[in-house]
Homo-oligomer: A and B are copies of this chain.
Amino acid sequence: MDTTQERTEAQDLPYDVFAKACPSRGTLEHVTGRWGALTLGALHEGSLRFNELRRRVDGVSEKMLSQTLHALERDGLVHREAQPTNPPRVDYELTPLGREIATRLTGLIQFVEGRMDDVLTARERYDATRGAR
């Protein structure tokens, strides 16, 4: 697939998100994607059932939540605990790895939330200068 040899020294680093074909880019997207980030953030506060999660992550559809959960479970970040009762009860919780990632992620999220005033101010200035034309 790669016919060029320009990347001969990139092998020192096993994974590099900047490389198009690196699997870490996919995982990073699962983690940081719109619903992935919010799902991990929600589960960081404690385990939740499917519909609890759905309510917590405002705006997510059943389909997207299901899809997101599968991706995160497959990557080993979320554990799915199903009880064969009736009605069924399924709890989702973070794995140790998922918890570490979620910790960093929520740190980022809270930081961004805390600086939103700056962001909004910057936007106004930008729009006043260029957007207005």
A residues near B, CB below 8 A?
13-20, 23-25, 27-29, 31-34, 37-38, 41-42, 56-59, 73-77, 97, 100-101, 104-105, 107-123, 125-127, 131
Contact = CB atoms under 8 A, between A and B. Distances in A.
Contact of A18 (B19, B57, B116, B131): B57
Contact of A42 (B18, B97, B113, B117): B18
A121 B31 CA distance: 17
22 contacts: A13-B113, A13-B114, A16-B113, A18-B38, A18-B42, A18-B56, A18-B57, A18-B58, A20-B59, A24-B116, A74-B127, A75-B119, A75-B122, A75-B123, A76-B119, A76-B121, A97-B119, A97-B122, A100-B115, A101-B112, A104-B107, A108-B108
